[in-house]
Amino acid sequence: MSFLAPLFLLGTLAVAAPVVFHLLRRSTREQTVFSSLMFLRPTPPRFTRRRRFEHVALLILRCLVLILVAAGFARPFFPQAPSSAPAAASASRLAVLLDASASMRRGPLWTSACAQAMATLRGASPGDQAAVFVFDRQVRPLLSFAEWESLPAGDRLGAARARLEAASPGWSDTRLGDALAAVAEAVADSPDTNAFRQRRIILLTDRQQGSRLEALAAFDWPSGIELTLPPLPIPSTANASLEWVADARADSTDPAAPSPVRLRIRNEPGSGREAFQVGWQGDNPGAWLGEPVEVRVPAGQSRTVFLGPPPPPGAHRVALRGDEEPFDNTLFVLSPEPVERRVLYLGREAASDSRRPRYFLERALQETARHKAILRALGPEADAAAVSGEADAAALIVVADPLPAERARALRQRISGGQTVVVLLQETAAGATLAALLGRERIDLEEVPCAPFVLWSEIDFEHPLFAPFADPRFSDFTRIHFWKYRRLDERAVPGARVIARYDGGDPAWIEAAVGQGRLLVLTSGWHPSDSQLALSSKFVPMLYSLLDLAAGGGNEPLQFQVGDALPMPQSARPGSETWSVRTPSGRVQPWPAGAAQWAETGEPGIYEIASGPIRRRLAVNLAPAESRTTAIPAGEIERLGPPAPAAAKAAGSVVRQVAAEAAEVEGRQKVWRWLLAAALATVVFESWWAGRAVRRSLVEGS
């Protein structure tokens, strides 16, 4: 039998107390009255002669209680034979986890981390298993356990060094909690749980405050895995950072209004600097465009500043000067700019005819902060070259009257090439033109007079055309009356998507894909003889939705962080278009087929997504949390779960392993419970026995 806490056995020395008490010839319970004690002095307790114990049975019981309690506290257990082979149990399983986030670009952090990693790997014995991981937002293995095992022992260090030299810190933010959890699982995930005497993670990180440790709080740290944090030369330099807050111009509809950019400048605690400069810069870093703004931010605080007016077009780089860490001093800002959108109107009516659609279209397409719409109207008499030239430049083509067959065929080719065309069915004769555009032989339309009116229903607010009205505050179309429309049998247009219907069930808006482009059909007109649509408040937003749909863009986010996935533009038609992404470094990468997102934003800068004439630019910046470079104490990481790093591993590890195994065996056997139960039973029996002895003595005394 062995004991987990043998020092408690010293408690058995307490049996001396009952032995002494039983040797004392002192009957404290018996009292004798005496007239006066003035001539008496207390007699010191006197030992009886040897072997003259009083109440030997009680003495034995009391000693037994003390011995049982002391033995119980000493946590006895019956040792078991070791289950694993001793040779295998001497091996370790090590994982080196390097922080490759943007903050590791500071000073000598990365080279020190690599040196520490190599030193750790050199200390591994041939029987050990080791792996090297890097992490920022995600964990990537540089050298997995399997590769380590597969390599000859002499090549392992060389392979690890080569992988480390090839790696470098990226621009992503740090998610240390996720990384630790993933690597801990990888370290714990071995076929034989008893094969390693030690499992350890060597974490090489700058422990910056923005490391996102919260994932550790919910993670059940596997037992037996220790975490070591070798010290790195963390620079204590002044660092300030830039963060884009919001673009004040986004809400402005006045293109002439000043359009400042709102920025937050944060100065890290402990920073020795307070004065900074913020301003626009061009592609040549270091040269200000215009005058920079002087900002004073005390250490540990942040300030919001407005930067503006905007520099010359094309400038999208905001820089900060005045701190000592340049890695987070550049911010890429893209503001929505008024984009010229050309609209080609194919109709024969005069511009001043207030009863016709053109009149309302011209007046609705005014210049805004984001759009600069230019309407060009051509009648049937216009020659094909002019139409073709205008159509090339147009983002949207509106067909208001029936077209000649040849012109309709040409337009169909344009749609197939990716253009967006809207057809207004103002008369039943437009059926031939529609059939030509859709590649059908014939489509019949039927004039439907409505008495007194019909309304739109079943509007698909998920379609980009109606998406701006999806909010319940704007989704009320019941005040727009339609006096007449042309019935189009949707079965005549296979694959078409009905975006809105009249309350009688006939289609009002239909979208049909033609080649790479799309054809939108409104089975009525927006002019007053057909409906109240042009006079309603919904008309102008709907037109701009059409423009956004045709040209791409809209109210989609422009600012992203490194590591974020870039979304496909809303106007794109997945599967029908070929998209590519131009990264800030100039590389052009194809958009994966069928993917809704592109997730390879590995560097900050301006990314351009392009498909045909559609260009969309997105700004990708460093995550603001990555700029919070103040180091958190190592104890903060330990508090969230990983056991404290052990200082002296080599000497004490075997002892600890044995102790841990002993504790596990003792925890299973729980012999102490039986001992304490026996002690309690003995106490009860002793009480009964003592009570009986007292009663007997009283009877004898009386």
Q: Can you give the binding site for other proteins, defined by CB under 8 A?
A: 25-43, 45-46
Instruction: CB nearer to other proteins: give 30 or 381.
Output: 30
Determine the Cα–Cα distance for residues 499 and 511; give it in Å rounded to an integer: 7
Determine the Cα–Cα distance for residues 38 and 432; give it in Å rounded to an integer: 140
Instruction: CB nearer to other proteins: give 44 or 154.
Output: 44
CB 18 to other proteins: min, Å: 19
- Cβ-based burial of 65 (10 A; exposed 0-12, middle 13-18, buried ≥19): buried
Q: Count Cα neighbours of 22 within 13 Å in the Cβ-side half-sphere.
A: 20
Instruction: CB nearer to other proteins: give 45 or 439.
Output: 45
Instruction: CB nearer to other proteins: give 43 or 83.
Output: 43
SS3 430: helix
CB 77 to other proteins: min, Å: 47
SS3 562: coil
CB 47 to other proteins: min, Å: 12
Instruction: CB nearer to other proteins: give 39 or 587.
Output: 39
Backbone angles phi, psi at 138, to 5 degrees: -130, 165
Instruction: CB nearer to other proteins: give 28 or 352.
Output: 28
What's the 3-state SS for 347-390?
A: CCCCCCCCCCHHHHHHHHCCCCCCEEEEEEEECCCCCHHHHHHH
CB 52 to other proteins: min, Å: 14
- Tell which residue, 347, 340, 337, has the closest CA to residue 397: 347
CB 42 to other proteins: min, Å: 4
Instruction: CB nearer to other proteins: give 39 or 291.
Output: 39
SS3 111: helix
CB 44 to other proteins: min, Å: 8
CB 691 to other proteins: min, Å: 21
CB 697 to other proteins: min, Å: 12
Instruction: CB nearer to other proteins: give 41 or 473.
Output: 41
Helices (H), 394-491: 405-416, 430-438
Q: Where are the beta strands (DSSP E) in 515-613?
A: 517-522, 559-561, 566-567, 580-582, 588-590, 597-598, 605-611
- Residue 235, preceding peptide bond in cis (omega within 30° of 0): no
- Tell which residue, 252, 478, 220, has the closest CA to residue 370: 252
**Whole-angstrom distance between the N-terminal and C-terminal Cα of the chain?**
51
Instruction: CB nearer to other proteins: give 1 or 40.
Output: 40
Q: Which residue has the tokens 């986010």?
A: 557
358-to-303, 379, 399, 488, 545 alpha-carbon distances in Å: 50, 11, 10, 23, 18
Residue 126 neighbours by CB under 8 Å, 6+ apart: 153
**Token digits for 568?**
């496909």
Instruction: CB nearer to other proteins: give 40 or 451.
Output: 40
Determine the Cα–Cα distance for residues 115 and 122; give it in Å rounded to an integer: 10
Backbone angles phi, psi at 391, to 5 degrees: -65, -30
Q: Are 21 and 98 in contact (CB under 8 A)?
A: no
CB 35 to other proteins: min, Å: 4
Determine the Cα–Cα distance for residues 384 and 382; give it in Å rounded to an integer: 7
Instruction: CB nearer to other proteins: give 7 or 33.
Output: 33
Instruction: Give the distance from CA 87 to its chain's centroid.
Output: 43
CB 694 to other proteins: min, Å: 15
Q: Which residue has the tokens 């106490």?
A: 683
- Tell which residue, 16, 196, 226, 165, has the closest CA to residue 88: 196
CB 701 to other proteins: min, Å: 10
Q: Give me the sign of the Cα torsion angle 400, 404, 408, 410.
A: negative
Q: Count Cα neighbours of 131 within 13 Å in the Cβ-side half-sphere.
A: 25
Instruction: CB nearer to other proteins: give 28 or 223.
Output: 28
SS3 501: strand
CB 59 to other proteins: min, Å: 20
CB 21 to other proteins: min, Å: 14
Amino acid at 302: S
- Tell which residue, 524, 520, 510, 501, has the closest CA to residue 455: 501
Instruction: CB nearer to other proteins: give 32 or 585.
Output: 32
Q: Which residue has the tokens 């990264």?
A: 583
- Residue 126, preceding peptide bond in cis (omega within 30° of 0): no
CB 26 to other proteins: min, Å: 6
Instruction: CB nearer to other proteins: give 52 or 573.
Output: 52
**Token digits for 403?**
């077209």
CB 29 to other proteins: min, Å: 8
Largest Cα separation within the chain, whole Å, is 149
CB 27 to other proteins: min, Å: 6
Instruction: CB nearer to other proteins: give 223 or 702.
Output: 702
Instruction: CB nearer to other proteins: give 191 or 701.
Output: 701
Instruction: CB nearer to other proteins: give 631 or 693.
Output: 693
Determine the Cα–Cα distance for residues 667 and 661; give it in Å rounded to an integer: 10
Instruction: Give the distance from CA 503 to its chain's centroid.
Output: 44
CB 49 to other proteins: min, Å: 14
